[in-house]
Copies of this chain bind each other. A is one copy, B any other.
Amino acid sequence: MNIQEVARRAQVSTATVSRTINGSDKVKANTAERVRRAIEALNYFPNTNARALGSGRSRLYGLIISDITNPFFPELVKSFEDTAVLHGLEVIVSNTSYKADRAELCVQRMLERKVDGVAIMTSELEPQLLERLKSNGIPLVFLDTGTVGEDTSNVLVNYSKGIDEAVDHLVSLGHERIGFISGPMTLPSARTRREAFLESLRRAGISLRKELIVEGNHRIDGGRMAMEELLQLTSLPTAILASNDLTAIGAIGSIHQHGLRVPQDVSVIGFDDIEISAALYPPLTTVRLSRSHIADRAFHALFSANREPGSRGAEYIVQPELVVRDTTAVRIKPRALHRIDKGKMSAKKQAR
């Protein structure tokens, strides 16, 4: 079953069939109708490989992520795919598994399949790999990876806004001893979140205590370990802001393990709002970073780059927003806390 058989049945040339399939406007209405009937009757569908080979366009977008088992990504992938399918395109997803050599394989796959665009949401891609993509004229869009480039698009996240909201929320509940568990400092976006936190503290007029800032790894175990460290302090934080939800989940586990309660003894805020966060008990207060917004912007960046070749890259900013659930509460009276150093509870602090 191929285009020739359709052409024969519809009494037209293959060119006309092809034009009809591709919605060219230069096919007379009733010819097109005849072709469509033939397609229907023969149950024909075009061979994707032949189309791609003939036209040079694959109708495929690539999406490079770190790791599909990281719960942040599936939703992103799904939104991106859904939007793509809606526009008659498809998506191949490739995981770098956080490794640079796997990243090269990912890029290779994209090149071999002649994708029409690549959305990159990982920091493992070395400049020379990006160059390979660019030099093949493939539109790129970076998601939260802030790579500057005139011909590439960027979807940026306004971390400051989200983190400001989180800190303000905690401050309004009376917290001032706020701990922060960061992501791995090797990850640019983790560094940005940390900076945003420091800036938020400053803005809120809270002086920085270095011992309250601990590095995690954006995974549950990292959150757990970082929290262990924080719980060793003589003067415990009354609230924790975590660089992502998994970290927050780990921290909460650790807090419980020490016989403390969330949010009565310690408030916790996460970041991302992964699906499970709302379903935990207690439901996690967190800063939502909408994956569907990100995916949408990314798709449209590529789509318009395809429509208008040679156009400059666009820039989009997505705004995270605080979602208050049940892991944050009014700051408790210090005496209710374990391990609290009563000597440090000066009147001045109590007054605040």
**Which of A's residues lie within 8 Å of B, judged by CB?**
45-50, 52-53, 58, 67-69, 71, 73-75, 77-78, 81, 85, 90, 92-93, 95, 105, 108-109, 111-114, 220-221, 224, 246, 249-250, 252-253, 256-257, 275-276, 279-281
Q: Are A257 and B281 interface neighbours, CB within 8 A?
A: yes
Q: Are A45 and B111 interface neighbours, CB within 8 A?
A: yes
Q: How far is the CA of A46 from the CA of B109 in the complex (A)?
A: 11
Q: Which residues of B contact A95 (CB under 8 A)?
A: 78, 81
Q: Which residues of B contact A280 (CB under 8 A)?
A: 249, 253, 280
Q: Are A69 and B275 interface neighbours, CB within 8 A?
A: yes
Q: Are B45 and A112 interface neighbours, CB within 8 A?
A: yes
Q: Which residues of B contact A252 (CB under 8 A)?
A: 281
Most chain B C-beta atoms within 10 Å of own C-beta, residue among A53, A78, A109: A53
Known A-B contacts A52-B49, A279-B249; A68 and B78 likewise in contact (beta carbons under 8 Å):
yes
Q: Which residues of B contact A85 (CB under 8 A)?
A: 105
Q: Which residues of B contact A250 (CB under 8 A)?
A: 279
A284 vs chain B, min Cβ distance (A): 12
| Number of copies of this chain that the complex holds | 2
Most chain B C-beta atoms within 10 Å of own C-beta, residue among A47, A77, A105, A281: A281
Q: Are A90 and B108 interface neighbours, CB within 8 A?
A: no
Q: Are A256 and B281 interface neighbours, CB within 8 A?
A: yes
Q: How far is the CA of A95 from the CA of B257 in the complex (A)?
A: 39
Q: Which residues of B contact A71 (CB under 8 A)?
A: 71, 74, 276
Known A-B contacts A68-B77, A69-B78, A71-B71; A47 and B220 likewise in contact (beta carbons under 8 Å):
no
Question: Besides the contacts A71-B276, A249-B279, what 20 more A-B pairs have beta carbons closer than 8 Å?
Answer: A45-B111, A47-B53, A48-B49, A48-B112, A49-B49, A49-B52, A49-B53, A68-B68, A68-B78, A69-B75, A69-B78, A71-B71, A73-B74, A78-B95, A81-B95, A85-B105, A90-B109, A92-B92, A249-B276, A252-B281
Contact of A48 among B45, B105, B114, B276 (CB under 8 A): B114
A137 vs chain B, min Cβ distance (A): 13
Q: How far is the CA of A38 from the CA of B249 in the complex (A)?
A: 53
Q: Which residues of B contact A90 (CB under 8 A)?
A: 92, 109
Q: How far is the CA of A74 from the CA of B77 in the complex (A)?
A: 11
